[in-house]
């Protein structure tokens, strides 16, 4: 089966600019996650969707980050305006639902550099 698709693979922007990332989950996966992975650290969850509803966004910096999952399939994550500390890899993952470990798959990520 096709994996989790993310684009772009790389993005370089200046601080205070805006940027958007796109994720297409595995077909049929109801749950979608966005993680932020700063260099040398483990991934940190930003937001979790169940279909097109938000389950957990407690760690999303809502003053500058936003995410949506229209129609319960694709998702976009936006940063506006970007700060230097937003430089990281943004990983999207999807899973079939609430069952532990089943089908939980990560994409290859988007590497963001803010200069």
Stretch that binds other proteins, among 14-22, 35-43, 60-68, 78-86 (CB under 8 A): 35-43
Stretch that binds other proteins, among 20-28, 33-41, 64-72, 76-84 (CB under 8 A): 33-41
By CB under 8 A, how many residues form the interface with other proteins?
25
Residue 102: C-alpha distances to residues 2, 28, 73, 89, 110 (Å): 16, 13, 18, 24, 24
Q: Among 40, 53, 63, 70, which residue interacts with other proteins (rule: CB under 8 A)?
A: 40
Task: Write out the two tokens for 98.
Answer: 């609430």
Q: Among 7, 14, 28, 56, which residue interacts with other proteins (rule: CB under 8 A)?
A: 56
Taking CB under 8 A as the rule, does residue 104 contact other proteins? Answer: yes
Q: 58, exposed or middle or buried, with CB in 10 Å at 0-12, 13-18, 19+?
A: exposed
């Amino acid at each position: 089966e096709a994996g989790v698709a993310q684009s772009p693979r790389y993005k370089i922007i200046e601080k205070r600019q805006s940027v958007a990332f796109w994720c297409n989950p595995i077909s049929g996966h109801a749950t979608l996650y966005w993680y932020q992975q700063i260099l040398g650290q483990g991934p940190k969850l930003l937001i979790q969707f169940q279909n097109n509803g938000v389950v957990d966004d407690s760690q999303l910096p809502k003053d500058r980050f936003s995410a949506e999952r229209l129609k319960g399939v694709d998702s976009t994550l936006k940063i506006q305006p970007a700060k230097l500390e937003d430089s990281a890899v943004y990983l999207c993952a999807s899973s079939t639902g609430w069952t532990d470990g089943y089908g939980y798959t990560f994409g290859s990520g988007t590497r963001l550099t803010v200069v």
